[in-house]
């Protein structure tokens, strides 16, 4: 099987926002409790209650941003339950996730500590659904306030004399669903009301946009009706929202599973994944109708795989195979190729939930194939995305609706070209001719390459075989000059760094 890609070095798309490599952690199943928080008295090594192995693994990904506390949880969360001495914090029920007991041992201070330990910017989603503008405003003041106020004093007493300086704030989550079942125009009116009380802190506020899995009409209506209402400005002092967030999960057919799936089910999920490209353009086009200068950033607040066994009663737990790795790579490539419009993207969710980076079992921890993709793709961060043209056969049965066999993205930084490529064909390698076009007679002086593949697309890491799937070095692969033929194994992800002469 053959394909060709052409990298147009002179055609710059935009700088890849580091935040497209963001993560999301919710109070849900074993994500926060056990996955991240074990408590200071735990036998599991920890720093101030946060498990050390997970922090070390996450640090290696260079995570730019971490969204918390939900998700659906956010619109039922009372932030005051999660501050102050831990022994005094109330116990509540996690109503969206099986009424699981919520001990509130992990709250705002612990979240900020986690972000600092892993080196990520905090992103807090405010409770709009069951909260109030006052509670939201008070949380922002508590976190970021300087000077003299009772709330600031309380934060100091709780151990943080310096402000947290949280820049990113969500104004509610999935308001079309678990956030309150609002109509888009009703939500837009609420956002304006909330912003009136949040605008005094110089923060970046993100409204929740449509659900990618909805039919086209609902997605379009959510975006257009939101902005139609939103654009009705009553006073020039009114300041706009800074971001608007799409949520889109890759589903797999009901019959399929996380580990057991047929080739047809596999291609179905891949096809579902690559819809992300069109969704980004579609939502941006809806926003552009009211925001032609693109002052409001497009954020992908939640994305990743959602397999049938990830249910509320299983804490949305699922295994993570090479298929998930390909979904991660395809999405990250899409975000890099759309660097001009995608400002942030957060995969769901960091530990033990949905397309997790990390799985834990008591004191043990493993990383998933998706983790390796994030680690391999890091070099795109803050690089200049350049145009890539694809000439690829269709995967699967080769039908017009099937996804192309080869996809990828390219970016430039410091004279180096970083190229990421996927072969989604389940059982065949593909020979890709890579052509460098433009620039000043480009040729490759030096290169390094890494590849993630498996003998079977269902390959995964388990506590018995924690390193069954891991990347291997593949250089040298470039044969010279401005073009080379690279062999991509079946169902594989590759990352090449080319030093251009």
- d(Cα 270, Cα 45) in Å, to the nearest integer? 38
At its nearest, how many Å lie between ligand AHR and the CB of residue 20?
Answer: 18
Residue whose CB is less far from ligand AHR, 97 or 267:
97
Secondary element (H or E) of residue 214: none
C-beta closer to ligand AHR: residue 173 or 360 = 173
**CB–CB of 83/383 below 8 Å?**
no
Tell me, yes or no, if 225 is annotated catalytic: no
Annotated active-site residue in 282, 302, 317, 447? 302
Supply the minimum distance, in Å, between the C-beta of residue 72 and ligand AHR: 4
Cβ–Cβ under 8 Å, residues 359 and 352: yes
For the beta carbon of residue 465, count every other beta carbon within 10 angstroms: 11
| 197-to-136, 139, 148 alpha-carbon distances in Å | 8, 11, 18
Of 163, 194, 172, 210, nearest to 67 (Cα)? Answer: 172
Q: Which of 330, 321, 285 is nearest to 303 (CA)?
A: 330
Q: Which is nearer to ligand AHR, 214 or 475 (by Cβ)? A: 214
**444-452 β-sheet, strand order:** 472-473, 444-452, 492-500, 416-423, 406-413, 384-391, 2-15, 430-437, 483-488
Cβ–Cβ < 8 Å for 49, 367: no
Question: Which element (helix H / strand E) includes 13?
Answer: strand 2-15
CA atoms of 497 and 416, how far apart (whole Å): 7
Task: Confirm whether 302 is a catalytic residue.
Answer: yes
The residue of the chain with the least Cβ separation from ligand AHR equals 71
Judged by beta carbon, residue 173 or residue 484, the one nearer ligand AHR is 173
Q: How far is the CB of 476 from ligand AHR (least distance, A)?
A: 41
Rounded to 10°, the helix 275-288/322-337 angle is: 30
Q: How far is the CB of 74 from ligand AHR (least distance, A)?
A: 8
Comparing CB distances to ligand AHR, the nearer of 72 and 486 is: 72
Q: Which of 26, 138, 141, 174 is catalytic?
A: 174
Smallest separation (angstroms) from ligand AHR to the CB of 424:
24
Closest distance to ligand AHR from the beta carbon of 65 (Å) = 16
In the complex, the residues that contact ligand AHR under the rule CB under 6 A are: 26, 70-72, 173-174, 302, 316, 348-349, 354
Which CB sits closer to ligand AHR, 174 or 258? 174
Residues designated as active site: 174, 302
């Amino acid at each position: 099987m053959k394909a060709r890609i052409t990298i147009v070095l002179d055609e710059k798309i935009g700088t890849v926002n580091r935040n497209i490599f963001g993560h999301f952690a919710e109070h849900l199943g074993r994500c926060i409790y056990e996955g991240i928080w074990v408590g200071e008295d735990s036998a599991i090594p920890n720093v101030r209650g946060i498990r050390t192995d997970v922090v070390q693994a996450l640090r290696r990904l260079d995570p730019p941003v971490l969204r918390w506390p939900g998700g659906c949880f956010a619109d039922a969360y009372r932030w005051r339950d999660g501050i102050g001495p831990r022994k005094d914090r109330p116990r509540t029920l996690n109503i969206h996730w099986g009424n699981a007991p919520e001990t509130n041992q992990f709250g705002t201070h612990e979240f900020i500590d986690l972000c600092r330990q892993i080196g990520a910017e905090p992103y807090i989603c405010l409770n709009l659904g069951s909260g109030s503008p006052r509670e939201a405003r008070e949380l922002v003041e508590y976190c970021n306030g300087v000077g003299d106020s009772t709330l600031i004093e309380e934060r100091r007493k709780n151990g943080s004399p310096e402000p947290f300086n949280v820049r990113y704030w969500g104004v509610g989550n999935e308001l079309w669903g678990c956030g309150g079942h609002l109509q888009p125009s009703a939500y837009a009116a609420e956002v304006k009301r909330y912003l009136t009380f949040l605008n005094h802190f110089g923060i970046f506020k993100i409204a929740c946009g449509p659900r990618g899995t909805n039919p086209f009409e609902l997605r379009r209506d959510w975006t257009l009706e939101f902005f139609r209402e939103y654009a009705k400005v009553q006073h020039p002092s009114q300041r706009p929202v800074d971001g608007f967030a799409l949520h889109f999960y890759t589903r797999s057919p009901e019959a399929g599973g996380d580990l057991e799936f047929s080739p047809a089910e596999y291609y179905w999920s891949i096809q579902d994944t690559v819809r992300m490209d069109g969704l980004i353009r579609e939502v941006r086009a809806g926003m552009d109708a009211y925001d032609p200068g693109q002052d409001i950033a497009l954020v992908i607040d939640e994305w990743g795989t959602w397999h049938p066994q990830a249910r509320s009663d299983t804490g949305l737990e699922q295994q993570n195979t090479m298929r998930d790795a390909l979904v991660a790579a395809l999405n990250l490539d899409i975000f890099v190729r759309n660097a001009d419009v995608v400002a942030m993207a957060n995969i769901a969710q960091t530990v033990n939930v949905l397309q997790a980076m990390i799985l834990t079992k008591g004191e043990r921890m493993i990383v998933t194939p998706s983790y390796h993709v994030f680690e391999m793709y890091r070099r795109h961060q803050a690089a200049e995305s350049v145009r890539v043209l694809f000439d690829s056969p269709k995967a699967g049965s080769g039908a017009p609706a099937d996804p192309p066999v080869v996809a990828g993205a390219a970016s430039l930084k410091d004279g180096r070209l970083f190229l990421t490529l996927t072969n989604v064909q389940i059982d065949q390698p593909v020979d890709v001719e890579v052509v460098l076009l433009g620039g000043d007679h480009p040729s490759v002086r030096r290169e390094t390459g890494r590849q993630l593949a498996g003998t079977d697309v269902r390959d995964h890491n388990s506590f018995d075989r924690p390193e069954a799937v891991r990347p291997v070095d593949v250089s040298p692969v470039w044969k010279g000059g401005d073009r080379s033929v690279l062999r991509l194994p079946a169902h594989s992800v590759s990352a090449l760094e080319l030093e251009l002469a």
